[in-house]
């Protein structure tokens, strides 16, 4: 594996003068979300790319890929391929492939800074997650909080059905709740459970997607699908140039959306510092 990665790096460096390899994008489906990510990827890449549906076979010479969606990321890749996965939180590399994962979580340092600007009294944040694939992001958020003076307590809910019981047992101190972008935990039932728990205790409930603010979360700090695609393009370009990088990358551009009534009820405001959108 080390030899393969070294050869890939040397190949990328050797091709730098003639430009990066042309990537192939593989989509799990034709959903609007995946198309938005593809648009972001194409924009950041600077040119159109070959796009394949899930069942199509890549050209035999292709070795640089962006996989958009979990099903696309789970396909079998050519040996020694360079793959960046997007919107695929549990993606893992196959035999001989070098994979970089774009996280659903924004840059933790930026996330913490935006939350603290919005909620200056926030001292202890409980982070709720379930899937093993979310562990790395939860730990990164804990580290980011420590660096900025925020206590982040990681709470794994496994299985997700234990959420009501675990919430009842949290106790103090808790100044706010953050629901990780973990598909195993983010659903209608769990969202309603966390929202009602937070409302009863008058603490803010923060979520990772803008739609949750529309449904009653006090505020959300989210990364658009378009921006995730941009992050995937930057990560792939770095890999093809031979520059070393982390296995997980996170987008830096975020959108903070505040649900005005829910935020005020949770003790936020009257000014929502750093909010990009405030819902009436």
pLDDT for 13-44, tens place per residue? 333 333 446 899 999 999 999 999 999 999 99
When pLDDT is averaged across residues 57-82 and rounded to a whole number, the result is 90
Q: What is the pLDDT of residues 76-86, one digit of tens each?
A: 888 888 999 99
Task: Quote the pLDDT of residue 241.
Answer: 87
Give the 3-state DSSP-derived string for the chain, with helices as H, strands as E and coil as C: CHHHHHHHHHHHHHCHHHCCCCCEEEECCCCHHHHHHHHHHHHHHCCCCEEECCCCCCCCCCCEEEEECHHHHCCCCCCCCEEEEECCCCCCCCCCCEEEEECCCCCHHHHHHHHHHHCCCCCEEEEEECCHHHHHHHHHHHHHHHHCCCEEEEEECCCHHHHHHHHHCCCCCCCEEEECCCCCCCCHHHHHHHHHHHHHHCCCEEECCHHHHHCCCCEEEECCHHHHHHHHHHHHHHHHCCCCCCCEECCCCCEEEEEHHHHHHCCCCCCCCCCCEEEC
Average pLDDT over residues 203-210: 94
| pLDDT value at residue 97 | 63
Domain 108-223+255-279 has CATH 3.40.50.2300: yes
pLDDT band at 113 (very low <50, low <70, confident <90, very high): very high
Taking residues 235-258, report their average pLDDT.
Answer: 89
Q: What is the rounded average pLDDT of the residues 154-158? A: 95
User: Could you tell me the residue ranges of all domains in the chain?
Assistant: 2-102+226-249, 108-223+255-279
Is 108-223+255-279 the same fold as 2-102+226-249? yes
pLDDT tens digits along 44-61: 999 989 999 988 988 888
To the nearest whole percent, how much of the chain has pLDDT over 90?
Answer: 70
The gap from C-alpha 16 to its chain's centroid, in whole angstroms, comes to 29
Which CATH superfamily is 2-102+226-249 part of?
Response regulator (3.40.50.2300)
Model pTM score: 0.84
């Amino acid at each position: 594996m080390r030899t393969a990665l070294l050869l890939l790096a040397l190949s990328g460096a050797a091709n730098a003068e003639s430009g990066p390899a042309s990537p192939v994008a593989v989509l799990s489906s034709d959903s609007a979300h995946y198309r938005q990510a593809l648009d972001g990827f194409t924009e950041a890449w600077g040119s159109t790319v070959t796009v394949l549906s899930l069942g199509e076979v890549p050209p035999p010479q292709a070795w640089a890929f962006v996989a958009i969606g979990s099903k696309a990321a789970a396909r079998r890749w050519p040996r020694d391929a360079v793959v960046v996965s997007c919107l695929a939180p549990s993606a893992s590399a196959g035999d001989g492939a070098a994979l970089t994962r774009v996280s659903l979580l924004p840059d933790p340092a930026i996330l913490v800074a935006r939350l603290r600007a919005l909620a200056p009294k926030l001292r202890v944040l409980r982070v709720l997650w379930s899937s093993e694939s979310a562990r790395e992001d939860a730990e990164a958020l804990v580290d980011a909080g420590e660096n900025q003076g925020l206590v982040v307590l990681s709470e794994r809910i496994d299985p997700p059905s234990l959420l009501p019981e675990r919430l009842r047992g949290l106790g103090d101190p808790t100044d706010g709740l953050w629901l990780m972008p973990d598909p195993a935990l983010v659903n209608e039932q769990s969202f309603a459970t966390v929202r009602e728990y937070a409302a009863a205790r008058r603490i803010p409930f923060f979520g990772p997607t803008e739609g949750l603010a529309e449904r009653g979360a006090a505020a959300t700090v989210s990364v658009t699908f378009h921006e995730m695609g941009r992050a995937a393009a930057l990560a792939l370009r770095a890999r093809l140039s031979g520059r070393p990088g982390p296995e997980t990358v996170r987008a830096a551009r975020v959108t903070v959306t505040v649900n005005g009534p829910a935020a005020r009820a949770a003790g936020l405001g009257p000014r929502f510092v750093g909010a990009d959108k405030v819902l009436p």
